[in-house]
Amino acid sequence: MANRCAVIGVGQTRYTTKRRDVSIAGLVREAAIRALDDAGLTFADIDAVVVGKAPDLFEGIMMPEVYLADALGAAGKPLTRVHTAGSVGGSTALVGASLIQGGVHDRVLVVAFEKQSESNATWALSTHLPFGASLVVGAGGYFAPHIREYMRRSGAPDHVGALVAVKDRRNALKNPYAHLKIPGIDRAMVESTPMLWEPIRYLETCPSSDGACAMVLSSEKAVTGTPAWIHGTAMRSEPLMRAGRDTVSPQAGKDCAADVYRQAGISDPRRDIDVAEVYVPFSWYEPMWLENLGFAPENEGWKLTEAGCTALDGDIPWNASGGVLSSNPIGASGLIRFAEAALQVRGMAGEHQVEGAVTALGHAYGGGAQFFAMWIVGSRKP
Amino acid sequence: MREVAIVAFAQTVHTGHDTGLTEAEMLHPVIDEVQRATGLTRFGFTCSGSCDYLAGAPFSFVSALDALGAWPPISESHVEMDAAFALYEAWVRLQHGDIDSALVYGFGKSSMSDLREIMTLQLDPYYLAPLGLDQVSYAALQAAALGGDRADHRGALDEIVRRSRADGRANPHALDLPDPSGTDDEVAPLRPYDIAPITDGAAAVVLAAGDLARELAATPAYIRGIAHRIEPHYLGMRDLARSPSAADAARAAGVGKGPVDVAELHVQFSHEELILREALELPEDTVINPSGGPLAANPVMATGLIRIGEAARRILDGGARRAVAHASSGPCLQHNLVTVLESALESVPESAPETQEGADRG
């Protein structure tokens, strides 16, 4: 079976609306060097580099990885560019881990980024003729009907979304890298903000961020420092246009979770996982993914949110870092989830550390809720 | 490393113009063909390569997934690179040992846009792209660096194009292009016929490991070595007349460890064949690009995968025992992937596979 693999270094930039002080190369290099520093290594110790980002139209550079090879110390090495829509950050970690699990390399640098200030992501995501008339504007316009359907099915009260928005932003106050810092945020403040895409209000949506995240992954024999061991990895994809596909709780998400839980020996995720970093770009996706990932029975995810179970002091904290709702450099957002999961089980999450976290889930999704990437990391060697 | 082989390959009849098919419509028949050839409808892993900039819209690979019938959901990933690099990712995934098959595909419609200008957007956005150097111009810089004042340079390039186009005319999947003629430069020293044609097309490959490979093909094309390397992006930092990254990849893949019957090279400009031939240290008697190569059909993002598929096909049909395939990415051969394929006849003992990524470094 696959070789053991561990996260031995994590590096993040601070996330913000516009990083005017660095180029794209400077941005990714900042994250990469922080990850190398964390691992006590340099670029010379790296065998291969994997770069992930969301659509190239976001920055207006076609296949930017060839330009970034120099800044990431990749010259003379293999470099891979991953793109799997919004899940790409997660997929980037998995492609990097695969190189070690497959016995090809001992140390791999994975980096994901977005510099959203270079263009307008909402319009880059709105396709046009001849590819199909776009009925929506941006990702929020696409996902709002799915959220309304979730509310209809589950009978969830209208305020649950606002609770997630408040909880994640309060967590963000404890994360030095988080983009949105809104002291004093409460439900009334969220509910007073404009409705963007019914039922998603302004403060229930993710920001547009510049930022990069990097990790150093290692084989067992090359581990330095404090490892977060990978206990399971999985990707699943399903077609966008399949009739009868459940866009509220996609089968690909369920299958991906089942696969990664099986590898990690998890039978009851709410009990067996200590902290989860889950891709929640719009508030309502917390209750929706609580069900899709098996933390709650169908139509009851919102009850966990409402009862405070997913808060930092709840029994299963979700997005202790503040999540995508607080920082969203799109291509990196999935990798940040995977990296924050690793930081938690390494005991290195700082103020938003979940005490005694041993097992953590990293999750990302993308496309029309059709691409999923997940991993389980733990402080104990598998 | 685990024995992994190419057991099926399919490609479209490539066209030099837009036939009105969407990317998913173009892709579906080749997926169907490799599924029928192998009898497999589900694969342990699926990986593809494509580029949004060819279509000018985000997520071209998302609609391509609709061509697969990916239901129940599949384990799948995508590289924004030539699909040859997707094949590499699938080969790595097969090394884990828990799955035995993988589907790899790539597609591109370069007829939809101005490829020369799009490729400019691949350059460093701060220092290089603003110069407006297009793809043919930077290729011409490389051709000049290689040829310089060599008197035989033009003759060598003409012969490469003449041979490639003749082979392409004999290949039902490639374009039907005439022998090179004319003396006008496109961008000196390159002439219009030195440039790979605008092409729409798609290709798919099935990889299988262990017993499954032997079940699915009489003579599987075993991947004996596969490796890739990138070099610095800035053209001024590189000796454009040489390709050290292709040479490194070739050494890591073990090209020189045996004879090479056939080599399929990702030659998008005629002079690149000269550079690659030297970098890969190909023997004199190696047949280069018998398919016609990219100079006869260049469906961008599938072209590199087609090189691997064409090389594998020579082994699958018994015409070659050892073949080399090359794929490239980035300006002026910045990034190169080399694959060594062998029939079982050349097999080294399974317990001691000959080559692997990183093997030389212990």
Residue B228 vs residues A267, B194, B329, B357: alpha-carbon distances, Å: 40, 26, 10, 9
Residues of A within 8 A of B52 (CB-CB) are 55-57
Residue range B201-213: average pLDDT?
97
- Reported as a single tens digit per residue, the pLDDT across A289-330 is 999 999 999 999 999 999 999 999 999 999 999 999 999 999
pLDDT at A359: 98
pLDDT level of residue A169 (50, 70, 90 thresholds) = very high
pLDDT at B348: 47
pLDDT of residue B349: 45
- The two counts, helices (H) then strands (E), for chain A are 13, 11
Whether A340 and A93 have beta carbons less than 8 Å apart is answered as no
The verdict on a CB contact (< 8 Å) between A131 and B121 is no
pLDDT of residue B362: 31
Give chain B's domain count.
1
* B223-243 mean pLDDT: 96
Asked if A241 and B98 come within 8 Å (Cβ–Cβ), the reply is no
CATH number of the domain bearing residue A93 = 3.40.47.10
In a domain, A310, yes or no: no
Domain contains A31:
yes
B-chain CB neighbours of A78 within 8 Å are 227-230, 357
- Give the C-alpha separation, A366 to A120, whole Å: 18
A76 close to A46: Cβ distance less than 8 angstroms? no
**Residue A377 tokens, joined:** 């990391």
Q: Please give the average per-residue pLDDT across B339-359, as a whole number.
A: 59
**Does some domain include residue A100?**
yes
pLDDT of residue B58: 79
Residue B217 CA to residue B214 CA, distance in Å, equals 6
d(CA A366, CA B62): 10
Q: How far apart are CA A17 and CA B186, in angstroms?
A: 44
Nearest to B76 among A79, A124, A235 (CB): A235
Select from B71, B74, B233 the Cβ nearest to the Cβ of A66.
B233
User: Is the pLDDT at B309 greater than 90, yes or no?
Assistant: yes
Provide mean pLDDT across the span B294-303. Answer: 98
How far is A153 from chain B, CA to nearest CA, in Å?
23
Question: What per-residue confidence (pLDDT) applies to B347?
Answer: 46
A90-127 per-position pLDDT tens digit: 999 999 999 999 999 999 999 999 999 998 877 777 66
CB A240, CB A370: distance < 8 Å = yes
- The pLDDT score that the predictor gives to residue A125 is 73
Domains in chain A, number: 1
Q: Which residue has the tokens 């100079």?
A: B295
pLDDT at position B218 over 90: yes
- Do the domain assignments include residue A80? yes
> H-helix or E-strand containing A145?
helix A138-154
Query: What is the least distance, in Å, from the CA of A312 to any CA of chain B?
Result: 32
Token output for B153: 């340079």
Residue A103 contacts B where some CB pair is shorter than 8 Å = yes
- Domain span holding position A60: 5-121+208-222
Q: Model confidence at B350, in pLDDT bands (50, 70, 90)?
A: very low
Q: Does residue B134 sit within a domain?
A: no
- Residues 331 through 370 of chain A touching chain B, CB cutoff 8 Å: 367-368, 370
Q: Which of A63, A105, A255 sits opposite B72 (nearest CB)?
A: A255
**Which of the residue ranges A273-287, B45-59, B268-282 would you say has the lowest mean pLDDT?**
B45-59
Q: How does pLDDT run across B13-25, given as a tens digit for each residue?
A: 999 999 999 999 9
Least Cα distance to A70 among A108, A24, A12 occurs for: A24
Amino acid A127: pLDDT: 65
For A172, residues 6+ apart whose C-beta sits below 8 A from its C-beta are A178, A179, A180, A181, A182, A321, A322, A323, A325, A326, A327
Report which secondary-structure segment, H or E, holds A82.
Answer: strand A79-82
Residue B149 in any domain: the answer is: no
| Tokens 């246009």 found at | A241
pLDDT at position A353 is 98
Rounded mean pLDDT of chain A?
Answer: 95
Q: Are B53 and A124 within 8 A, CB to CB?
A: no
- Asked whether residue B162 is domain-assigned, the answer is no
Dist CA A129 CA A347 (whole Å): 50
| pLDDT at site A135 | 61
Q: Give the structural domain span for B216.
A: 4-113+202-361
Determine the average pLDDT of the residues in B274-302: 98
Q: In DSSP terms, which residues pair with A274 in a beta bridge?
A: none
What residues of B are in contact with residue A82 (Cβ under 8 Å)? 77-80
- pLDDT tens-digit map of B137-154: 999 999 999 986 677 999
pLDDT above 60 for B355: no
A212: in domain: yes
Contact between chains at B119 and A62 (C-beta distance less than 8 A): yes
Residues of chain A contacting B228 with CB distance shorter than 8 Å: 78-79
Average pLDDT of chain B to the nearest whole number = 93
For residue B154, the distance in angstroms to the closest alpha carbon of chain A comes to 30
B113 CA: distance to closest CA in chain A (Å)? 13
In this prediction, residues B196-216 reach a mean pLDDT of 97
pLDDT at B37 over 80: yes
For the residues A168-177, what does the mean pLDDT come to?
98
Do A66 and B335 lie within an 8 Å CB cutoff? yes
Contact B62 A77 (CB under 8 A): no
Distance CA B76, CA B65 (A): 9
**Domain-located, residue B186:** no
Q: Which of B46, B66, B124 has its CB closest to that of A241? A: B66
Is A238 an interface residue toward B (CB < 8 Å)? yes
Nearest CB partner across the interface for B92, out of A56, A65, A99: A99
**CA distances for B323 relative to A43, B97, B343, angstroms:** 34, 25, 9
Output the pLDDT for position B151.
79
Q: Report yes or no on A355 lying in a domain.
A: no
For residue A130, name the pLDDT band (cuts at 50, 70, 90): low
Decide if pLDDT at B360 tops 90. Answer: no
pLDDT of residue B89: 98
What is the arithmetic mean of pLDDT over A250-259?
Answer: 98
Would the CB atoms of A236 and B73 count as touching at under 8 Å?
yes
Domain annotation covers residue A117 = yes
Q: In this structure, what token pair is assigned to residue B295?
A: 């100079």
Q: What is the predicted pLDDT for the residue at B66?
A: 86
CA geometry: angle B167, B170, B171, nearest 5 deg: 90
Pairing of strands B221-230, B262-264: unpaired
Measure the CA–CA gap between A355 and A345, rounded to whole angstroms.
10
Domain-embedded: residue A151: no
Query: By three-state DSSP, how is residue B97 classified?
Result: coil
